[in-house]
Structure formats: C-alpha cells, structure tokens
C-alpha cells in the first residue's frame, strides 16, 4: 500500500510569489491535514479537509489556503510569500475526520523563500 505522497520535495521561491503544494493520501483515506514544521515553532496545524470540505483550521493568515478533490488528493496554496514561510510543509492522511484515527505523514515539501 503506497504511503502519503507529496510533491515537489523541494521548492525555492521569491518573496511575493505564490506556491502550490500537492498531496496524495493513502488509498482509502479521506481526510488530509496540512502542517507547517519549523525549528522554532515545531509542528503547527494548518487545516484539514474531508470530502472536499475544510473541516478544521489552524491559526494561519488567509494567505494559506487549501482544497481537496473528489479523489481525496489535496493541494495547499500560499500566496504573497514571506521569508517566514520558509518551512517543511507536511501532509498527513487518515481514514476519517472528527475521530481519532491516526495520522500518516508524507515526507514533506521543503519550501525556501528568498
């Protein structure tokens, strides 16, 4: 069974640009969550999608957005990039939402903003 797949693995962008990250969940998993990981702030929850609907949201500005497609694949978009957006962005899938099924992570997209 394939794991969570994130593309691309690495991205270098300039301040002010926008970026789109992609995540394919484990087959059968309908929930996809996104996390930002930085050395100083650890793993911070961005949002969770289930059945193409955002079910939960963290405390990030509106520049961070996402969506989920009917095949459960998800994309995350960051507009007007800032230097502080440099981080590892992790996607995690799980079977359901609102329940305690465990998260399974991909290997992340390393975003560097210059």
Partner 1 sequence: GQQLNQSPQSMFIQEGEDVSMNCTSSSIFNTWLWYKQEPGEGPVLLIALYKAGELTSNGRLTAQFGITRKDSFLNISASIPSDVGIYFCAGFTSGTYKYIFGTGTRLKVLA
Q: Which spans of this chain sit near partner 1 (rule: CB under 8 A)?
A: 4, 6, 33, 35, 41-45, 48, 55-56, 58-59, 90, 92, 97-98, 100, 102-108
Closest approach of Cβ 55 to partner 1, in Å? 7
Residue 17 or 107 with smaller CB distance to partner 1: 107
Q: For partner 1, give the closer residue by CB, 16 or 96.
A: 96
**Residue entry with tokens 């978009």:** 77
| Closest distance of CB 82 from partner 1, Å | 17
Q: Please identify, using beta-carbon distances, which residue of 11 and 92 lies nearer to partner 1.
A: 92
Instruction: Compute CA distances 98 → 48, 50, 101, 108, whole Å.
Output: 10, 10, 9, 24
Q: Enter the tokens of residue 55.
A: 């079910």
Question: How far apart are CB 72 and partner 1 at their closest, in Å?
Answer: 18
DSSP 43-103: EEEEEEEETTEEEEE-S--TTEEEEE-TTS-EEEEE-S--GGG-EEEEEEEES-SSS-PPP
């Amino acid at each position: 069974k394939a794991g969570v797949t994130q593309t691309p693995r690495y991205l270098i962008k300039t301040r002010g640009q926008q970026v789109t990250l992609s995540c394919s969940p484990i087959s059968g998993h309908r929930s996809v969550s996104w996390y930002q990981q930085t050395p100083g702030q650890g793993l911070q929850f961005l949002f969770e999608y289930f059945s193409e609907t955002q079910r939960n949201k963290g405390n990030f500005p509106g520049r961070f957005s996402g969506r989920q497609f009917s095949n459960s694949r998800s994309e995350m978009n960051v507009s007007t990039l800032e230097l502080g957006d440099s981080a590892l962005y992790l996607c995690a899938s799980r079977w359901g939402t609102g329940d305690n099924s465990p998260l399974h992570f991909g290997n992340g997209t390393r975003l560097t903003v210059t």
